[in-house]
Structure 1
Amino acid sequence: MDALIYFIIASFIATTGISFVVRNALKNIAVKPDESASIQSKMFIGVAVVEALPILFIILGYNGIESSTMNSTIPAILILIVAAINAFLIRRQSKELLINHSTKEEAKPLISALEKISYALVTAIPIVGIVACLIK
């Protein structure tokens, strides 16, 4: 398998998994803002667990990048698309929770802050993948 495929797989697993974990955390904070510290702790543990496998794929990708024969444009575009879709899903979830009447008022600033943090989390592995495509 070509090394750039490993970066695509890593980006897909990382962004999809992190998006799922973050969206669940956002929902839980909207309902129980008083437990936000516990929810965020669980979310970061979930993110760490989700990123374990993609990091292994990143290592495999960098090990074989010199022998890669694939054009790096298509993998870079796929990585960007996957990251953008999952960032959009997080934004949509956050927006729905912020306009939802059942969301507690004290949860809204927490939701906004967590949304911003989640963008950094969702784009971390894809940035590594795009850099790998650029250096190939």
Structure 2
Amino acid sequence: MLSPYLFAIASIIAVLSMVITFKIHLDKLKVNPEKRAEIQTKFFIGVAISEVIPLILVVSGFATMQPIQDMSVLFVPFLFILFSILIGPSFIFLQTKVDVTEDMKSIVMSFAMIALSLTMSIPIVSLVGLFIQMP
């Protein structure tokens, strides 16, 4: 009965690490927009490093998955995953509104859309893992 919590922990770690990585690189992008390619490359490297533990947790969750007899077991992990699904995009979109000039808006928004898709990947896979366990 540990696998639902592995999915929840993976989602929380993935979203928090992605949000921190996004914030660090967005601040660098706002200061030096001419170094966009270099900053995005370092961002992707940071994403790859920060997603290692969540990926291991998700794989462990699928490997130890068992059918659940009672839906109430999935309720708390579902709330944690839902919380991470709400917090990640909210933070990313709020950061696009802070200290962004009109000429930087398109660069920041494209960077935010990339980060948004990467941020939501682990929580969505975790949600699928929970749905598979439903009776």
More helix by share: 1
3-state SS, counterpart of residue 97 of structure 1: coil
Q: TM-score, normalised by structure 2?
A: 0.89
Q: How many residues align?
A: 131
* Aligned mates of 1:14, 1:68 — CA distance in 2: 25
* Aligned mates of 1:76, 1:97 — CA distance in 2: 35
What's the RMSD between the two structures over aligned residues?
A: 1.7
3-state SS, counterpart of residue 73 of structure 2: coil
The amino acid of 2:84's aligned partner reads V
Residue matched to 1:117: 114
What do residues 63-96 of structure 1 show as CA deviations (whole Å, max 9, x unaligned)?
A: 1111656622331221011121122111111111
Moved over 3 A (4+): 67-70
Q: TM-score, normalised by structure 1?
A: 0.88
Residue matched to 2:54: 54
The amino acid of 2:81's aligned partner reads I
* Aligned mates of 2:68, 2:56 — CA distance in 1: 18
Whether the 8 Å contact between 1:6 and 1:57 is mirrored in structure 2 is yes
* Aligned mates of 1:62, 1:93 — CA distance in 2: 34
What do residues 28-60 of structure 1 show as CA deviations (whole Å, max 9, x unaligned)?
A: 111100001100000000000000111100111
**Structure 2: unaligned runs, 5 residues or longer:** none
Query: Which of 105, 109, 116 in structure 2 is aligned with 1:108?
Result: 105
**Structure 1: unaligned runs, 5 residues or longer:** none
* Aligned mates of 1:8, 1:113 — CA distance in 2: 28
